[in-house]
């Protein structure tokens, strides 16, 4: 019997539990030469801010053992260009579209989600790892109070399902997840990148122009898995797991830890077919093991 690969997150049905992660898949167009986006459960689009951003000066990408560092700085064309130029190209692509909303102030977050409200976007992923320029640059998601404030403001301005993406660069990610849930988050995604750096021993200077950047890739998977386990056990809303997933076995582990779905990011840079291979591998595993539905994986290791 064929496995039902569908999963439901906050009332949105995904044809399978594999979503491409924001920042690693652009707006999807770069990959359509290889396979149709309809193969995917969903596409989480490039982080978008209300106003255009040029991003950080180079160098802003560096390889690391089993991963990469990036300090791209949310380069994007801005919310208006996204809605008028990028989104029309995606409408009707046959998969769930998730906008990743970023900002540097409460007002900029609110302005962006208001702009997205009347569009074909199926869900908003709120990136609260952004620095709050009005509070000295501390990330909104670094404290329960900061996270709650931005989620509360955004929740009141959109009817779309709201998924909040958490930073791992905190002391207590569970408390922050619970604060987001209390303010109306419909789902939680985690983890965003870990803060790291490298030094060029020839120039004796940091490799990245901004010194530090976000570490992603297979090296972070055990940390991401641990945090998904912790958060999934503490909140009642669905959890989407990401961080270092590069093969179907990783995705199965993440769902067993409590994730309702997964996001695949850095792996797509060195294997454009990684999300598709993961979908196919998961489906074959589920059939071999006698599962009737992919959703039966969620939290099975906790029982």
Report all structural domains of the chain as residue ranges with CATH numbers, in order of start: 7-56+72-194+216-302 (3.20.20.70)
Strand-pair category, 123-127 with 96-101 = parallel
- CA 139 – CA 33 distance, rounded (Å): 37
Please tell me the predicted confidence (pLDDT) of residue 196. Answer: 95
Residue 49 CB: number of other CB atoms within 10 A? 24
Assign residue 96 a region: left if phi > 0, alpha if psi is -120 to 50, beta otherwise?
Answer: beta
Question: At 70, is the secondary structure helix, strand, or coil?
Answer: strand
Q: Given the residues 24, 44, 93, 130, select the one marked as catalytic.
A: 130
pLDDT tens for the chain, 303 residues: list them.
Answer: 799 999 999 999 999 999 999 999 999 888 999 999 999 999 999 999 999 999 999 999 999 999 999 999 999 999 999 999 999 999 899 999 999 999 999 999 999 999 999 999 999 999 998 766 566 667 899 999 999 999 999 999 999 999 999 999 999 999 999 999 999 999 999 999 999 999 999 999 999 999 999 999 999 999 999 999 999 999 999 999 999 999 999 999 999 999 999 999 999 999 999 999 999 999 999 999 999 999 999 999 997
Q: Please report the pLDDT score of residue 296 as a whole number.
A: 98
Check residue 37 and give its pLDDT: 97
State yes or no: is 24 an active-site residue: no
Farthest CA pair distance, the chain = 60
- pLDDT value for 136: 62
Measured in whole angstroms, how far is the alpha carbon of residue 41 from the centre of its chain? Answer: 13
- Which pTM value belongs to this model? 0.97
pLDDT of residue 91: 86
């Amino acid at each position: 019997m064929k496995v039902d690969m569908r999963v439901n997150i906050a009332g949105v049905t995904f044809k399978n539990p594999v979503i491409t992660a924001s920042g690693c898949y652009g707006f999807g167009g770069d990959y359509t030469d290889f396979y149709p986006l309809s193969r995917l459960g969903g596409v989480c689009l490039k982080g978008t801010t209300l106003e255009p951003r040029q991003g950080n000066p180079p160098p802003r990408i560096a390889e690391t053992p089993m991963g990469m560092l990036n300090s791209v700085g949310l380069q994007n064309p801005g919310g208006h260009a996204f809605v008028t130029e990028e989104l029309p190209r995606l409408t009707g692509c046959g998969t769930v579209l998730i906008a990743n909303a970023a900002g540097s102030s409460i007002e900029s977050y609110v302005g962006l989600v208001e702009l997205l409200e009347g569009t074909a976007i199926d869900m908003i992923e709120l990136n609260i790892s952004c620095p709050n320029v009005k509070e000295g640059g501390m990330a909104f998601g670094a404290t329960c109070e900061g996270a709650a404030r931005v989620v509360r403001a955004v929740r009141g301005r959109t009817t779309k399902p709201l998924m909040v993406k958490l930073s791992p660069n905190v002391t207590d990610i569970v408390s922050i997840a619970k604060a987001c849930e209390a303010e109306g988050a419909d789902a939680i995604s985690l983890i965003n990148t870990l803060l790291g750096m490298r030094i060029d021993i020839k120039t004796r200077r940091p490799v990245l122009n901004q010194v530090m950047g976000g570490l992603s890739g297979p090296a972070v998977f055990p940390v991401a898995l641990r945090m998904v386990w912790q958060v999934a056990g503490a909140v009642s809303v669905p959890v989407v797991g990401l961080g270092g997933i590069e093969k179907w076995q990783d995705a199965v582990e993440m769902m067993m830890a409590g994730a309702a779905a997964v996001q695949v990011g850095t792996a797509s840079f060195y294997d454009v077919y990684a999300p598709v291979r993961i979908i196919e591998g998961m489906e074959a595993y589920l059939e071999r093991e006698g599962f009737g539905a992919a959703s039966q994986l969620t939290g099975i290791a906790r029982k």
